């Protein structure tokens, strides 16, 4: 890559208000959007596309075939688009795609996909805190918060409005459901159903009640979700029987919240987390 240094006075497109620090290295073929700022010692490689009003902070590296949308912040020392940490990777052209209004803080790492043409994807309005790692082919949806030092292995899915506590680790191909909360230092190799709180190792401990309230779920909606949760985890039905019951009962069958819950469980390949027995009797009414 040519060692191309640009500073604000030498900006190639001053009418677009792009600011590039004199010590930044930006490939001439990189596409940089209007109003974007690139800090000292940052590196932006040849096939990178960065949208409007982004901030690439000092010492960040954006490499590979990476496309970043508008109004994103890439933190100090973050590395976005690097090769997957996968022994099967043999140099295929693969991608990272990041949406709009995301904040990726200091030293976040995001790897590109492993297979030819595959993607690692991050949606919109997400926050990834210091040291979080997003491995190859992960999918992070929208409005997700991933706290410090969370480690996501390959092909992990994190669905809308999930919250992941610090130092939690997730095995490959595991899914985190919408509005779920993962308590700090939790270890996951099984799917976490929507709305649930995951603890310890592959366990759930009630619902993410605070998260549901903060996301505007009414008391009635929360009560219905709690009832479905108890049918799945606290009745004498197995998983298949519980899902069949929820699909047939008029109280649940046409409820979009319960449909999301049931469809997620039915599509699980790794199985879902089990009930944390010692805490089962302490689940609070809501």
216-262 pLDDT tens trace: 999 999 999 999 999 999 999 999 999 999 999 999 999 999 999 99
Enter the tokens of residue 257. Answer: 């919240």
CATH match for 213-280 among 3.40.640.10, 1.20.1180.10, 3.40.50.10170, 3.20.20.150: 1.20.1180.10
Categorize the per-residue pLDDT at 13 as very low, low, confident or very high, splitting at 50, 70 and 90: low
Half-sphere exposure of 183 (CA within 13 A, CB side): 15
DSSP string, 226-252: HHHHHHHHTSS--HHHHHHHHHHSHHH
Tokens 């009745």 appear where?
235
**Superfamily of chain region 8-155:** Hexapeptide repeat proteins (2.160.10.10)
**In this model, does residue 7 exceed pLDDT 70?**
no
**Contact status, residue 56 vs residue 62, Cβ threshold 8 Å:** yes
**Percentage of the residues of the chain whose pLDDT score is greater than 70:** 92
Question: How far from chain centre, in Å, is Cα 264?
Answer: 17
CA torsion 40-29-49-75 (nearest 10°) is -10
Distance of alpha carbon 32 from alpha carbon 269, whole angstroms: 40
pLDDT value of residue 152: 98
Tokens for 160, please give them.
């809308």
In whole angstroms, what is the distance from residue 182 CA to residue 162 CA? 8
Residue intervals in the chain for CATH 2.160.10.10? 8-155
Q: Where in the chain is the domain with CATH 1.20.1180.10?
A: 213-280
- Nearest by Cα to 266 from 158, 175, 148: 175
Separation between Cα atoms, residue 12 and residue 127, nearest integer Å: 31
Gap between the Cα atoms of 101 and 174, Å rounded = 25
Euclidean distance between CA atoms 231 and 135, whole angstroms: 35
Beta strand pairing call for 151-152 and 133-134: parallel
Residue 1 banded pLDDT, cuts 50, 70, 90: very low
């Amino acid at each position: 890559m040519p060692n191309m240094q640009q500073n604000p006075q030498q900006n190639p497109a001053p009418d677009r208000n792009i600011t590039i620090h004199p010590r930044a290295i930006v490939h001439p073929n990189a596409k940089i959007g209007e109003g974007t700022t690139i800090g000292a010692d940052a590196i932006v490689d040849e096939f990178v596309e960065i949208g409007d009003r982004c901030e690439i902070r000092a010492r960040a590296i954006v490499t590979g075939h990476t496309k970043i949308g508008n109004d994103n912040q890439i933190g100090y020392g973050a590395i976005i688009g690097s090769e997957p940490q996968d022994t099967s990777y043999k140099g295929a052209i693969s991608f990272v795609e990041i949406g709009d209004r995301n904040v990726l803080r200091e030293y976040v790492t995001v790897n590109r996909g492993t297979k030819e043409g595959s993607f690692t994807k991050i949606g919109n309005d997400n926050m990834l805190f210091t040291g979080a790692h997003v491995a190859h082919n992960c999918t992070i949806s929208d409005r997700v918060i991933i706290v410090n030092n969370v480690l996501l292995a390959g092909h992990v899915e994190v669905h809308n409005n999930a919250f992941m506590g610090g130092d939690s680790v997730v095995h490959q191909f595991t899914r985190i459901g919408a509005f779920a909360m993962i308590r700090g230092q939790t270890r996951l190799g099984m799917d976490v159903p929507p709305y649930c709180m995951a603890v310890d190792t592959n366990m759930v401990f009630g619902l993410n009640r605070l998260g549901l309230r903060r996301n505007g779920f009414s008391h009635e909606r929360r009560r219905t979700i709690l009832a479905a949760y108890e049918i799945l985890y606290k009745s004498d039905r197995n998983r298949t029987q519980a899902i069949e019951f929820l699909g047939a009962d008029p109280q649940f069958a046409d409820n979009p919240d319960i449909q999301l819950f049931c469809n997620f469980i039915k599509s699980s390949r790794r199985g879902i987390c089990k009930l944390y027995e010692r805490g089962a009797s302490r689940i609070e009414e809501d």
